[in-house]
Amino acid sequence: MISYPLKQQQQQSTQTQWSELYFPPDSSEEAEQLDSAVSGESNVLLSKYSIQLPSVITSMAARDENVVLGRDYEPSDYDVVCGRGKGSYNRPGNLRFRQIVRDNIPTYHQARTKYEKSTVLNNIIDYVRSSDNGSARFIKFDTKTREWYELSDDQAREKVGHTIRESIQSIDNAKVKFAKKKVFNAKHTDLLTQQQAIFSDLATAETLSCSKPKTQIARSA
């Protein structure tokens, strides 16, 4: 059998690699050299294939707990301020948020399962948080500590769910009010028509009653 030098070198190299894997180095110095070599290759590999994520995506990371923003935090025009009163209700971010919710109500109505409805809620949260280059937040002011803090994911979902229910109720109430007004207008129109017919009949009867005596006087003359 013919032996090829290149093939022998490859076999020797392979045997050396396997021996390094299965047989530990004899000294601690050799072990440190081996560890540094492996870690160096891993860092090079990771840096080669790592990418810088946009701020929009990093801002949409999971928020399991509240994040304290401090006392000096100033809500932006894209932040959704949670709380009672017209002070938060009429903020630009809240007005924009309610419009986003209204735009997603048809999709919410089409959802058949809890998972699909939860997906709609998550999409609204992600859309709000991606606004203003990913710096928009769901925030609330703590009256005890006098500090602003950002809501967690669960609290944000609760806020979105509550707003969706309020919007649906408001739309339903508007439909009922419109239907009642339509019925009232129809009845009012019918009543006006009936009144006009009655007045017309009365006018006709009065005309006849006034003209009848004049005819009798003319005949007697």
More confident site: 121 or 32: 121
Predicted local confidence at residue 174, as pLDDT? 76
More confident site: 129 or 86: 129
Domain map of the chain by residue range?
55-174
Task: State the CB neighbour count (10 A cutoff) for residue 161.
Answer: 17
pLDDT digits (tens, 9 = 90+) for 25-55: 555 666 566 565 555 554 544 454 444 544 4
Res 18 pLDDT > 80: no
Contact 88, 94 (CB under 8 A): yes
Sheet architecture: strand order including 147-150: 67-70, 147-150, 138-142, 80-82
Predicted local confidence at residue 46, as pLDDT? 44
pLDDT band per the 50, 70, 90 thresholds, residue 128: very high
Q: Determine the average pLDDT of the residues in 17-31.
A: 51
Burial 170-197 (b: 16+ CB within 10 A, else e): eeeeeeeeeeeeeeeeeeeeeeeeeeee
Res 19 pLDDT > 50: no
Q: Which two tokens stand for residue 114?
A: 């809890």
Please state, rounded to an integer, the average pLDDT across all residues of the chain: 75
Predicted local confidence at residue 95, as pLDDT? 94
Predicted local confidence at residue 53, as pLDDT? 47
Predicted local confidence at residue 175, as pLDDT? 72
